[in-house]
Amino acid sequence: MYVTAPLPEHAAPETTPAKPSISRHRTMTLMPGTHLFLEGDPADRIYEVASGVLRLTRIMEDGRRQVIAFGYPGDTVGFPSDGLYHTDCDALVPSTLVVHRRDHLESAKGDPVLHQRLLKAALREISGMQDHFMMLGRKSSVEKLASFLRVLTTRVGEPLGDFDQVTLPMTRADIADFLGLTTETVSRTFTQLRKSRIIAIDHVNTVIILKPIALRAIAEGDDG
């Protein structure tokens, strides 16, 4: 779900409307501001993002927030534990999802292919989360932002002339809560990368990677 994951073999699936199908999945649309589920909800369903971007968050009583992951096309969200969801989930942009009934996926009787895919998705998720740990626990603010931009570029970047460009559907506050920073620090760090000509910024939420090598060096702490 977080973004180190390799590209999914299954791109956007087609809706198979009324026709009875062995794998009984449907699709649905989720609009920004709408929650797919909340922490503590019974987890009946598991979702694959077909298009759009989701946001998975945890919130503490006093309001502190941690963005656990952004769900991009190909990602799976809604992994249950003890039958419950453990994050909130909503959409950053209008998103379409493939809905799977949990009991079909988890039980040994369900479709073994789907079952297999769920396991793969879970393992990818674990791997991605492990990267995120290093970032949260041990990296400086520039390193965090550089890593973030790199992962996003790899995953959803688009070529623009000689450069790669990436659109950020999330706010600075979302990025801050993902990286364990404040919005002010995220903003200052963007400025820092911009002033050193490593990135350029269009329209606040469009970033052009001018020096990918330098960005990687920073992300991995290879510099001073």
Partner DNA sequence: CGACGCGTTGATATGGCTCAAGAGTGGTGG
Partner DNA sequence: CCACCACTCTTGAGCCATATCAACGCGTCG
55 binds its own copies (CB under 8 A): no
DSSP string, the chain: --TTSPPPS--SPPP--SS--SS--EEEEE-BT-EEE-TTSB--EEEEEEEEEEEEEEE-TTS-EEEEEEE-TT-EE---BTTB--SEEEEEEEEEEEEEEHHHHHSTTS-HHHHHHHHHHHHHHHHHHHHHHHHHHH--HHHHHHHHHHHHHHHH-EEETTEEEEE--S-HHHHHHHHT--HHHHHHHHHHHHHTTSEEEETTTEEEES-HHHHHHHHTT---
Q: Of these, 49, 105, 121, 181, which contacts DNA (CB under 7 A)?
A: 181
Which residues inside 137-196 make contact with its own copies, applying CB under 8 A?
137-139, 177, 179-180
The interface partner of residue 190, options being DNA, its own copies, none and the CB cut-off 5 to 8 Å by kind, is DNA
Nearer to its own copies, 56 or 208 (CB): 56
Shortest distance (Å) from residue 40 CB to DNA: 25
60 binds its own copies (CB under 8 A): yes
Q: Of these, 23, 51, 66, 141, which contacts its own copies (CB under 8 A)?
A: 66
- List of residues contacting its own copies (CB under 8 A): 6, 58, 60-62, 64-66, 68, 79-82, 86-87, 106, 108, 112-113, 115-116, 118-119, 122-127, 129-130, 132-134, 136-139, 177, 179-180, 220-222
